[in-house]
Amino acid sequence: MEYGFVDCHCHISAREFEEDLDDVIERAREVGIKTLIAVTEEIGEFNRVLQLQERYPDLVAPCFGVHPLQPERRSVTPQDLDAALQQFYNHKEQLVAIGEIGLDFTPWCVSTQQDRDDQMKVFVKQLNIAKELDLPVNVHTRSAAKVAIETMREQGVSRALLHNFAGKPSVALEGVKAGYHFSFPPAVCRNRQRDKLIKQIPLEHICLETDSPALGPEKHERNEPSNVTLSCSYIAHVKGLSPQSVQMITTQNAYKLFPKAVRR
């Protein structure tokens, strides 16, 4: 069996890709990407990601999610989710996961307890939608890794990807115990800050992602899915493994976590 790559968390519906999307997709295919798990951040993106699935049915696997930070970097409110709620149910057949959802307690974005409470309400509600629809979750945890993992465990969530994870290794291992997966974008190649974390998380709990158009190998340049190969090579380097084995196992992990993304 030939193993390609799965980009487990990318924003292929982002405006940054509008001008040259066919080229971006072509480059993704050239490096061997088989599936793009396409996350959304707010209701305005839902239709676009479905249109992209129609355009590239063998590649784009859509997720719907309401992100803890909404446009203008304001904290999400329960009203933001209410507006999107019916869409999750209307399109449940097409969705492979609920995401991008999560918690973001970065001080310069979230200044009040009310903001945190609102984020928690929206997060828990979307975790429950995922359970109801029998879907995994694609999760953002900035300055909130411990709380997010504890909340998911309390809510009985068993399938989760913690994307661009930057929490402590001890917190990550709590997630591993719960059966969760972790993914790392090409930005990890820029410094060695997450080496210890990557070393400690078993490869069976790691997936690849780009988070494109953000978090690429160069800070101020647009990232794209084809850079998933850089994440693969870097994880292989840190773990002392071959890139081929990292590619194979992370792809197996991805399809186990997102079974609806498997191309039959």
What tens digit of pLDDT does each residue of 162-172 get? 999 999 999 99
Domain boundaries, the chain: 5-261
What tens digit of pLDDT does each residue of 166-224 get? 999 999 999 999 999 999 999 999 988 999 999 999 999 999 999 999 999 999 999 99
Cα–Cα distance between 225 and 213 in angstroms, integer?
8
Sign of the four-CA dihedral 5, 6, 11, 12: positive
pTM value is: 0.97
How far, rounded to the nearest angstrom, does the alpha carbon of residue 226 sit from its chain's CA centroid?
16
Cα–Cα separations (whole angstroms), residue 76 to 48, 66, 81, 117, 120: 21, 8, 8, 10, 10
Cα–Cα distance between 61 and 58 in angstroms, integer?
8
List CB contacts of 203: < 8 A, sequence separation 6 or more: 235, 239, 241, 245, 246, 249, 250
Burial 216-230 (b: 16+ CB within 10 A, else e): bbeeeeebbbbbbbb
Is residue 59 within a helix (H) or strand (E), and if so which, with residue range?
A: none
State the fold for domain 5-261: TIM Barrel (3.20.20)
Burial 136-173 (b: 16+ CB within 10 A, else e): bbbbbbbebbbbbbebbbeeebebbbbbbbebeeebbb
Task: Give the pairing type, strands 160-163 and 137-142.
Answer: parallel
What tens digit of pLDDT does each residue of 69-79 get? 998 889 999 99
Q: Give the pLDDT of the chain (264 residues) as one tens digit per residue.
A: 467 999 999 999 999 999 999 999 999 999 999 999 999 999 999 999 999 999 999 999 999 999 999 988 899 999 999 999 999 999 999 999 999 999 999 998 888 999 999 999 999 999 999 999 999 999 999 999 999 999 999 999 999 999 999 999 999 999 999 999 999 999 999 988 999 999 999 999 999 999 999 999 999 999 999 999 999 999 999 999 999 999 999 999 999 999 999 875
Residue 207 is which amino acid? C
